[in-house]
Structure formats: structure tokens, C-alpha cells
Structure 1
Amino acid sequence: MIDALPPLREVIETHGLSAKKSLGQNFILDLNLTSRIARIPGDLSGADVLEVGPGPGGLTRGLLAEGARRVVAIEKDPRCLPALAEIAAHYPGRLEVHEGDALEFDPRLLNGPVHIVANLPYNVGTELLVRWLTPKVWPPFWSGLTLMFQREVADRITAQPGGKAYGRLAVLAQWKAEARVALTLPPEAFTPPPKVHSAVVHLTPRPEPQFPADPKMMNRVVAMAFGQRRKMLRASMKAMTPGIEDVLVEAGIKPTERAEQVPIEGFAALSRALTARGL
């Protein structure tokens, strides 16, 4: 055991915390495993940790036992609050629990440096990641993201050009951050076991995006290019401007290429060329 609190199976039974499919809940009950995930970001003794969807608190306990200065947990399921209150009492002054939706949470309640560590609910994981990667100001409020996703999503975040997994998520994540798969987990690591493997992705923000480009234009270009990924870029991008073929050539991209063949540097060059034309 990592602390003197009851085993997680006992906590779930005591508080009636059967996982809800509607909330995308899958709990990790092995506290050795949650501690292993908590160690991925490195030393958290001088950091605030934002945790989304703590559930019965397995990862929360791992983070606190591994020495996180303070954990701020956002939980949408009111059934979990009594279990989290027991953890807060065991670690006085180090756990703050907010009932609500992570999509509406104000990060100004956190004191930097901030790490986000979470076994994200499957139904909002990608949306949260995109929000954290697209703030109005860069560098962002967070110093690191350590996030659990379905393995398929993790592969999309870390994919390289040329494959089917490479898409908008890979470009967005790797343009702004360094991303790696830190840990892969089988279905049986969870209760209830999902139908797919999962993976923990660790992202560290770059001081500035990897290649210069206006963020709004970059987002428009990448969304349009991958919105019709089977088409050649001269077709998928033609709504951007009638002279798109000339702009593609100017950016060093063959008009007959498809989006999955273009590296991040190419999308940034295309964004700059379009911005220069006042689009």
C-alpha cells in the first residue's frame, strides 16, 4: 500500500462507486500502477497538479504519495466526493476538490508551475487536449501534460507524416509540444475493462511553436487539409483561395500531395504564405 487509506476496491464498495458509462469512467485500482503514472512528470514537490476526473482517487493518492505540492481535482460525479474527502483529510492542505466540469474550470485558481495529470474520461479527453494546446497566449499555463487516452488516440497524438494515424491532432500537438507515449496499459488494468488498450502520453510545451505561423491560420489550414484527407491538397484546400495551387508551390508543397504526406513545417509554410496574401 502507498498510504494507510483503504484499498480502492473497498472504497468503491463502501461508497457505491460503480463506473458510469455515461461519464466515460474506467477506474485503475492498482495503487502501484497509479504511483507509476504519478512519477512520469518527474518531481512534483514544487508544483500544483490539476487532475481531471479523479473518480475514487487512485491516481490522486499516487500523486500525493509521490510528493505533489498540491492536487486540485475536478470531479463531475458527486458520488465520488465523499471518497475524495477522505483522501483530503489524510493529506491535510494538499488536496482541493472541485465539483464540476473540467471544460469550465478556471486555471487561474492554480499556482505555477502547473502539471496536468489525468486518467481522462474517454468522452472528453481529445476536446480537453485541444483546448490546452490552443490557449490565447503561448507558452500555456501548464508546464506538462501527463494524460491517459485510448491507445488509438495516443498514436494519433504522436504519429509521424505518411501514416493513417497522422492528422490534425499530431500536427497541433507536435507543433506546440514534445509528445511521447510513456506507458501502455491493457484493458484488464481498469475496472470495468474497456474494449481497447490505453496509453499515457506525456507532453512538454515548447517555448514557442516549432515553426513560425499565425495560430488561427495554422488551425484553419490543418482542419481544412485533413477534413478531406483522401483528396489532393489542390482540391481539399481550394475553398481557401482560387489560386491555392500557386500558394502550395510557394510553400514548397506539391499540389498533388495529400494532407498526411505534409510535415508540420510544410503546414506552417503554407499558413505563412496564406497570411501574406491577406487571407
Structure 2
Amino acid sequence: MTDATSESDLNSNTPVDLDRQDFRDPDALRRRSGVSGDPNFDQHFLIDDRVLNRIPTYLSNNTDTRHVLEIGAGTGALTDRLLSVGGVVTVVERDPTLASFLHEEFADMVDEDRLNIIEGDALDVTIPPFTTSISNLPYGISSEILFKLLPSDCPLIVMVQREFGERMAADPGTDAYGRLSVSAQHYATVEVVETVPPTAFEPKPAVESAVIRTEPRDPDYTVADETFFLRFVKAVFTQRRKTVRNAIRNTAHISMLDAPEAVVSAADETLLSQRAGDLTPSEFAELATIAAEQGK
């Protein structure tokens, strides 16, 4: 499910002009804010104008942008672009100095009710309803934030660590495919649409980054208990080098199965003889359904 999107494939319905000259300069925003960034606190500000301008254009055609959510607004460089896309933009920023700066820098947008600023940790605050989310996520908590947003059934455009993004989008049978792939693709189709070098940020991170696009989807399978399904996937992948048969037996304490042998007896031999990294999400759903019926 991984692919790269060229500028010619960008969403022509998104009202962002890549050649505009009046967007706020990211370096000037950093100077005015007085915050230089701190890698120890996951503060890496995106300063490349070209990347900033492209990010909103990765929205798919006909995406509902009436209410755009941004997690980790920083100094507002991306926020400025999002205000040209969304009817209303809500940003969440945990740094009180930056939250105060955003109120000052975008005072006119706040007064016009175009911009809402929530100060606090995105994992703790109440996220208001939104129609799409576009963010340069704090890398240390990317997974937790994404799995807070993915069930919303809204499109997402997010900047994450490249390796993390590639694992989200990975196909079965590849080295990158794992628990993250199955869990993310349970909610959405996932694409890597751009890779971004460390030089696009200040301070520079130690790794490359990637812009990820997710589109909500209805999976081609059903699960009666989503929480159990995700826990079962997690359990089996903890022993990804073993056959699925042995992984089910050995991880009952994680999946909380009372009768793993009953699951093994009821499941299809073709699935049991494979390894976790070879199973599609729908095959995991098939096994999880058997496990819920026979093993709990």
C-alpha cells in the first residue's frame, strides 16, 4: 500500500497555491516566538517552505475541510497554510509559550473564529469533532496520537518518522509489515506520499521523515470485538518468527485466551502454518473470530 505521489497528482480541489509568496516565513516565526526547538522534548520545527506548501495539497479530492485539526502546531508555519484550506482550524499545542505565541500571531483568525487553540497534551485533552487532520506529529507519541485519531473515520495527513510511516503502509510478506501495519490498515488505507530529509527541520532530527496519507475504509471483514482483535494481533506479532500455531499457544497471556489449544484445533491449517508477517488483516480477523469463539 506504499506509493509516492508526484506534484502532478496533487488534489486540484485544494485551494493552496504552491507559488504563493505571502505565507508566513517559518524562520521568522521561530524568531518571533523565541523558541528554538528542543529535540529532548520532540520539538523539531518544519522550516522548508516547499514541504510546508505541499502538505495540504496531499488531501484527496473532495475531502471535507470544514474543520481541520492540527496536533503540535509549534510556531504556526503549517497552521498558516491550513487556514487557507480549512473553514475552521483547531490546533493542539502542549508548550504554553508556543500556545501563547499562536494566540498573538494569529489573533485576527482567533477573533474571526477561524482558529481555535487548545493548550495541552493531545493525549490528554478532549479533541473536538473534526473532518480531517493535518499535522507534523511529535514523533515520540506518533503511535498513540494516530490510534486516537484513526477511529474517527476522517482522512489524515501526518508527518512521522520514515520507518514508522513505512511500517504503517507495509504489505504482508515484507520486512516492514507488522502489528502497526495490520492495526492502521484496519481503519484506513495508508500511503507514504513524500519522504522528507532532516534538513527540512530545525533542529534537525536524527532520522528521515515521511508524510503519510490515510483514507478511512470499511474493511473487507468483520470483527465482533475490535479491542480483542487488536490485542490478538499484538499477541501473535510478539512471536512473529514462530508459526501462527505456536504464537497463539505461547501468547495466551497477552491475548487473554483461556483455551489456546481449542483455537489451534478449530483454525485452518493453512493459516496456522504461516508466520504473522504473512497474514493479511482479513486472515487475522478470521483467526481472531475463531479465537474469540473457541478460546475465551
Question: Which TM class, normalised by the smaller chain length?
Answer: 0.7 to 0.9
1:188 alignment counterpart:
199
Runs of 4+ in 1 over 3 A off after TM superposition: 1-6, 42-46
1:13 alignment counterpart:
31
Please state how far the C-alpha of 1:10 moved relative to its aligned partner: 2.1
Q: What pairs up with 1:10-159 in 2 under 5 angstroms?
A: 10-42=28-60, 46-65=65-84, 67-91=85-109, 92-107=112-127, 109-110=128-129, 112=130, 114-133=131-150, 135=151, 140=152, 142-159=153-170
Answer yes or no: is the 8 Å Cα contact 1:175–1:210 preserved in 2.
no
CA distance in 2, matches of 1:118, 1:3: 22
Name which of 167, 170, 183 aligns with 1:172: 183
Q: 1:26 to 1:170 in 2, by over 3 A?
A: same
CA distance in 1, matches of 2:63, 2:48: 21
Answer yes or no: is the 8 Å Cα contact 2:24–2:77 preserved in 1.
no
Q: Which has the higher contact order (CA 8 A, sep 6+)?
A: 2
Answer yes or no: is the 8 Å Cα contact 1:247–1:270 preserved in 2.
no
CA distance in 1, matches of 2:219, 2:169: 16
Please state how far the C-alpha of 1:45 moved relative to its aligned partner: 7.2
1:219 alignment counterpart:
230
- Unaligned segments of structure 1, at least 5 residues: none
Q: Deviations over 1:221-277 (max 9, x none)?
A: 201110121222222111231234323326x51x33211011112101101212232
CA distance in 2, matches of 1:118, 1:57: 11
Moved more, 74-83 or 154-163: 74-83
CA distance in 2, matches of 1:247, 1:85: 59
Moved more, 216-225 or 239-248: 239-248
CA distance in 1, matches of 2:103, 2:64: 21
Answer yes or no: is the 8 Å Cα contact 2:25–2:77 preserved in 1.
no
Secondary structure of the residue aligned to 2:123 is helix
Secondary structure of the residue aligned to 1:104 is coil
Q: Deviations over 1:9-62 (max 9, x none)?
A: 122123221112232111111334212101212466742111010101111011
AA partner of residue 26 (structure 2): L
CA distance in 2, matches of 1:46, 1:220: 33
State percent identity of aligned pairs: 33
CA distance in 2, matches of 1:45, 1:212: 27
CA distance in 1, matches of 2:56, 2:220: 28
Q: Structure 2 length normalisation: TM-score?
A: 0.83
Secondary structure of the residue aligned to 1:211 is coil
Answer yes or no: is the 8 Å Cα contact 2:63–2:155 preserved in 1.
no
Q: 1:278 to 1:256 in 2, by over 3 A?
A: closer
AA partner of residue 116 (structure 1): S
Secondary structure of the residue aligned to 2:210 is strand
Q: Deviations over 1:157-186 (max 9, x none)?
A: 000111221111111111221111111111
Answer yes or no: is the 8 Å Cα contact 2:29–2:76 preserved in 1.
no
Answer yes or no: is the 8 Å Cα contact 1:34–1:62 preserved in 2.
yes
Answer yes or no: is the 8 Å Cα contact 1:27–1:190 preserved in 2.
yes
Q: 1:259 to 1:15 in 2, by over 3 A?
A: same
Number of residue-to-residue matches in the alignment: 266
Moved more, 150-159 or 225-234: 225-234
Secondary structure of the residue aligned to 1:56 is coil
Q: Are 1:249 and 2:254 counterparts?
A: no
Answer yes or no: is the 8 Å Cα contact 1:150–1:199 preserved in 2.
yes
Q: Structure 1 length normalisation: TM-score?
A: 0.87
Q: 1:126 to 1:15 in 2, by over 3 A?
A: same
